[in-house]
């Protein structure tokens, strides 16, 4: 579904990604792990078109992504849920969600409203707070809103960056169950997450980054691969 081959990305003179190669299959959950500052978020932003790659190939369902604006990549079906959530101030929960309609400009109003109601069924807490200002929600609720806003569109793949950072354990449990539910429904997910022990139980496969390069990859169900990852990260 998604394939990166030898992708390089620079910030000015800083060579952040140095030949990243990875893939995500349809309906697959793939983890992107590593210590802070190794390039994980830059991988996400490069895929989503927020940062222009300097070399390499990026394809989504065969479509070349390099050179496309971020809004066009979004409309192809890739939804980025950024680490800082990007909840719009001055807008209610429902108004934030309705911005997700921009991902599917050809959809009828009836279909959009039906999609909104489906989203509320998956996120009952957001339904209860639909007229509340989005920025007044708790951290966990804002994370749910950021994911829900992406789902309101036509996303078939989610790029989720550090969804549980700074959240209470009970909310972390809810978010992991939500991601597991999305995976069961066939959503492809590329996940950046520092809670490795929880994430490894969710993902099918993983890649480990160091200094902008993939230094290890494996299947989460393989005990040797899993042990190697935990040892490398000293978890």
DSSP 158-202: EEEESTTTT--HHHHHHHHHHHHHHHHTT-EEEEE-S-HHHHTTT
pLDDT above 90 for 109: no
- Is residue 191 within 8 A of residue 179, CB to CB? The reply is yes
pLDDT above 80 for 17: yes
Please give the average per-residue pLDDT across 80-102, as a whole number. Answer: 91
pLDDT above 80 for 45: yes
Q: How would you write 68-133 as a 3-class SS string?
A: CCHHHHHHHCEEEECCCCCCCCCCEHHHHHHHHHHHCCCCCHHHHHHHHHHHHHHCHHHHHCCCCE
CA distance 85 to 115: 21
Nearest-10 crossing angle of helices 169-184, 139-151: 10
154 — pLDDT class (breaks 50, 70, 90) = confident
What was the pLDDT predicted at 208? 96
> What is the side-by-side order of every strand in the sheet holding 205-210?
78-81, 157-161, 188-192, 29-33, 205-210, 213-219
- Cα separation values, 160 from 67, 108, 112, 128, 220, Å: 22, 28, 23, 24, 18
Ranges 108-112, 202-206, 225-229, most confident: 202-206
pLDDT above 90 for 104: no
What was the pLDDT predicted at 235? 61
Give ∠ CA 176-179-181 in degrees, rounded to 5.
Answer: 110
- The least confident of 18-22, 92-96, 105-109, 122-126 is 105-109
CA distance 176 to 137: 19
Instruction: Kindly report, residue by residue over 183-215, the tens digit of the pLDDT.
Output: 999 999 999 999 998 999 999 999 999 999 999
Instruction: Give the right CATH number for 2-232 from 3.40.640.10, 3.40.920.10, 1.20.140.10, 3.40.50.300.
Output: 3.40.50.300
If you average pLDDT over every residue of the chain, what do you get?
93
What was the pLDDT predicted at 180? 94
Please give the average per-residue pLDDT across 93-103, as a whole number. Answer: 90
For residue 203, give the DSSP letter: -
What was the pLDDT predicted at 112? 86
pTM higher than 0.85, yes or no?
yes
pLDDT above 90 for 84: no
Produce one character per residue of 216-231: b if its CB has 16 or more CB atoms within 10 Å, e if not: ebbebeeeebbeebee
- H or E element: which one contains 48? helix 40-48
Return the domain boundaries, the chain.
2-232
């Amino acid at each position: 579904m998604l394939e990166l081959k030898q992708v390089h990305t620079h910030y000015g003179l800083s060579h952040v990604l140095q030949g990243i190669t990875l893939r995500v299959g349809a309906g697959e959950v793939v983890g992107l792990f590593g210590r802070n500052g190794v390039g994980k978020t830059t991988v996400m932003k490069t895929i989503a078109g927020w940062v222009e790659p300097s070399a390499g190939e990026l394809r989504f369902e065969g479509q070349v992504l390099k050179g496309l604006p971020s809004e066009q990549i979004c409309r192809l079906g890739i939804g980025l849920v950024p680490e800082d959530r990007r909840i719009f101030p001055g807008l209610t929960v429902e108004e934030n969600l309705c911005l997700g309609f921009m991902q599917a400009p050809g959809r009828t109003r009836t279909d959009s409203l039906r999609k909104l109601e489906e989203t509320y069924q998956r996120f009952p807490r957001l339904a209860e707070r639909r007229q509340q200002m989005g920025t007044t929600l708790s951290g966990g609720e804002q994370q749910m809103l950021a994911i829900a806003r992406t789902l309101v569109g036509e996303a078939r793949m989610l790029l989720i960056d550090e969804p549980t950072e700074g959240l209470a354990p009970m909310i972390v449990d809810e978010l992991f169950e939500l991601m597991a539910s999305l995976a069961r429904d066939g959503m492809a997910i590329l996940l950046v997450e520092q809670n490795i022990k929880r994430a490894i139980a969710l993902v099918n496969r993983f890649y480990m980054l160091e200094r902008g390069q993939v230094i290890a990859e494996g299947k989460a169900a393989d005990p040797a691969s899993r042990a190697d990852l935990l040892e490398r990260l000293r978890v």
